[in-house]
Amino acid sequence: MGTILELRNISKSFNSGSNTIVVHDNFNMTVDSGEMVAIMGKSGSGKTTLLNIIAGIDYPDSGEYIFDGNKINLKNTSDGVKFRCNNIGIVLQHFALINDFTVEENVNVALWETKLSSKDKKTKVESILKKCGIYDLRDKTPASLSGGEKQRVAIARALVGEPKLLLADEPTGALDSETENEIMALIKTLNKELKTTVILITHDKEVSDLCDRTVVLKKH
């Protein structure tokens, strides 16, 4: 099992008025391929900032970011978009679905930038919908779905492009405990089935316990 992601001496700070807030100072982390890692920490400990750096949404002030053996040096937003398109799927707490699209269309959005034919796209979408257990809901719009179903759609969208890494920011944060278990079970299953590396941010100990490893961030 090789290393999919390595953060070396990552530092990141923000300016807030005349103050500089150090979020990460020489932070190091390694994630192996196929691993499922939970990141925990109090508010302001830099969980989301870390997720942003890994996803190519934000850039570290210093340090090295190595993804799948390649040093990642993103210079602009466009580089970040390209990087995400090829490597990363993102799941957010509030699902981030397009309300006017059906479930199938929502998932299909992640394939718009690929060069697959419409038929192949449809096949892939149907396949992931089945894996996520929402194939029967494919013609429904998000408004008619429950929280758990919405999150399944979000997971399906994040994984339909077969990314190497799934980043989930509090994926169960907006769900009740029963649904939380279902979603975590789904993520765990997909992690195993698809061999997709998963990094998820959570406040929930039960969620982190389901992961292979937990990284706890401390506030500076």
Partner 1 sequence: MSTILNNIMRLFFQHTKSNFLILINIILSTAAIFVLLQNYYYLRQQYNEIYGTTNVAHNYSVVPEFNLRQNYNNDVLNKSPMYYIGKEVFNELEADYDIIFFDCSCGAMDSEYLDNSINWENFVQTVEEFSYKYIDVHYLPANGFRAFNIEIGEGNNFTEEDYSDEDLSKPLSAILGYNYSKVFNIGDTFTYDGDTAVIIGFLKENSSYNEYGIYYNLDDAVLLPQIFPRLQGESNLLPEELYLVHAGNEDVDVQAAINAVTTKYGYYTIEVSPIDGIQLTSTKDISEKNVKLIGILALIACTICALSLASILVNRTLQDRDVYCIYLCCGIPMWKINLSIAIEMMIYLVISIFPTVAISIREYGSLIVPLWQILLFAGSITVISLIPTFITNRKCNIDLMIRDRIV
Q: How far apart are CA 96 and CA 28, in angstroms?
A: 30
Q: How far apart are CA 164 and CA 33, in angstroms?
A: 8
Task: From 28-36, 84-92, 129-137, 179-187, give the range in contact with partner 1 by CB under 8 A.
Answer: 84-92
Least separation in angstroms between residue 156's CB and partner 1 is 12
**Does 162 engage in binding with partner 1 (CB under 8 A)?**
no
Least separation in angstroms between residue 35's CB and partner 1 is 22
Packed helices 177-194 and 118-131: angle between N→C axes, nearest 10 degrees: 130
Of the pair 45, 52, the CB lying nearest partner 1 is at 52
SS (H, E, C) 182-207: HHHHHHHHHHHHHCCEEEEECCCHHH
Q: How far apart are CA 159 and CA 100, in angstroms?
A: 21
Give the x-and-dash track for 30-69 against partner 1 (CB under 8 A).
------------------x--xx--x-xx-----------
Q: CA nearest 57: which of 31, 21, 82?
A: 82
Q: Which residues contact 206 (CB under 8 A, 6 or more apart)?
A: 180
Q: How far apart are CA 216 and CA 78, in angstroms?
A: 31
# chain residues binding partner 1, by CB under 8 A: 29
Strand partners, 20: 15
Least separation in angstroms between residue 59's CB and partner 1 is 12
When binding is defined by CB under 8 A, the residue of 10, 37, 40, 90 that contacts partner 1 is: 90
Least separation in angstroms between residue 131's CB and partner 1 is 18
**Does 97 engage in binding with partner 1 (CB under 8 A)?**
yes
Binding residues for partner 1 (CB under 8 A): 48, 51-52, 55, 57-58, 77-78, 81-82, 84-86, 90, 92-94, 96-98, 100-101, 109-110, 112-113, 157, 161, 169
